[in-house]
Amino acid sequence: MKEKTYVDDIDRSLYDFRNEDKDAYKLEEGLTPEIVSKISEEKKDPEWMKEFRLKSLEIYNEMEIPDWGPSIDGLDMDHILTYVRPKDNKMQNKWEDVPEEIKDTFTKLGIPQAEHKSLAGVGAQYDSELVYHNVKDEVVAQGVVYSDLESAMQGEYGEMIQKHFMKLVPPKDHKFAALHGAVWSGGSFVYVPPKVHVEIPLQSYFRLNAAGAGQFEHTLIIVDEGAYLHFIEGCSAPKYNVANLHAGCVELYVGKNATLRYSTIENWSKNMYNLNTKRAKVEEGGKIEWVSGSFGSHVSYLYPMSILNGANARCEFSGVTFAGKGQNLDTGTKVLHNAPNTSSYINTRSISKDGGISTFRSSVVVAKKAKGSKAAVSCQSLMLDDISRSDTIPAMDIRTKDCDIGHEAKIGRISDETVFYLMSRGMSEEDARALIVSGFADNVGKELPLEYAVEMNNLIRLEMKGSIG
């Protein structure tokens, strides 16, 4: 008789510390025109943005919640704090000037250390506000702009931001895009000038500390013609007994022959509703590379979308999702081939254990004008026990004959033979299973910078800790 594997829940002590937020400034719970107007005042928005927020709120009130994904019944918008400003908040560009408690938070998460070792610039957001932003002088000297979105909007890039803000993800896209449009706060703006190659990555890290709060940061990146950038996004939060919400928005504009790599290791706490929207538009000869690891959250709806808008534009998506106890992670990607000779390659892995539910959901749409386009989708799912669930729901909509579309999916469990082989080489069963799962997720691990790949493998090892045959 086969023996079952029991898997412990993740040891989240690394991420699960919290600070008192009694001195933080908070707007009242809920969502009304008054609250939205107050946020607008807090942010010193230009007039167009205030109008945009109020219009988005109207759209939010008109739209229905999705009827096709995981339940979000536990999310009560009347009790979500849409704006929390940390005590003594003022954005700094030196870590020593950041309030002690917040600085300690990011130090525990390893952000200043990572900045020192391997990053060209860092933005750190705490609740609704950025608390730290800095970029290396040599990157600034290349003409690269990396700042918080709000101050960039007030300065020389205001017009550029107005031209691009929520144009890829309009508020009417879905209910939580409309919510974002109404209450967004914080986030980063990056502009990479033509032909500039940013050698080392930039990173933004989002930390949500306040209980029952939402985080609605907006990331806007414009990589101009022939330029290159690798941007890393990280996020975490301590666990509370009340629901937290993340409804961020990422808009990426990849210019002609430019390349943008956007990497994310998402590790929100397991009371988080992660309803994030990410979208990239890629012009002729450009390339977007998504590297996405989803480990946290109670419920996730996350499908980075690539709009291949110019001839020969390309997209690669490498994703891994690990759903454990109490998690329902609905992740995947969307690609629109909207120009000739575009290509996309999607390679994902899903792992479910301890009652977790993981769903891979995708759409590949090839428009009539996208002649000569190619798409390949590969999704694999691993079930680690018989109380979990794993679904794959890939859709394809092809409107031209002149294309080549391939799709493959596989679902199964860890092979007993492989575990036996590794154990015969002296490994414990727990280590053998952890190694197999790490290898299974290697499609993402090998695409990440070393430090982040190590962090991802640590997360997998922690998830697998306690596996016994």
Q: Which residues bind other proteins (CB under 8 A)?
A: 2, 67-68, 361, 363, 368, 381, 383-386, 388-413
Q: Which is nearer to other proteins, 112 or 319 (CB)?
A: 319
Q: Which is nearer to other proteins, 269 or 331 (CB)?
A: 331
Q: Which is nearer to other proteins, 160 or 405 (CB)?
A: 405
Least distance in angstroms from the C-beta of 375 to other proteins: 9
Q: Which is nearer to other proteins, 174 or 298 (CB)?
A: 174
Q: Which is nearer to other proteins, 86 or 394 (CB)?
A: 394
Least distance in angstroms from the C-beta of 335 to other proteins: 13
Least distance in angstroms from the C-beta of 362 to other proteins: 9
Least distance in angstroms from the C-beta of 462 to other proteins: 21
Least distance in angstroms from the C-beta of 399 to other proteins: 6
Least distance in angstroms from the C-beta of 173 to other proteins: 10
Distance CA 315, CA 40 (A): 36
Least distance in angstroms from the C-beta of 63 to other proteins: 12
Least distance in angstroms from the C-beta of 388 to other proteins: 7
Q: Which is nearer to other proteins, 84 or 367 (CB)?
A: 367
Q: Which is nearer to other proteins, 222 or 384 (CB)?
A: 384
Q: Which is nearer to other proteins, 11 or 402 (CB)?
A: 402
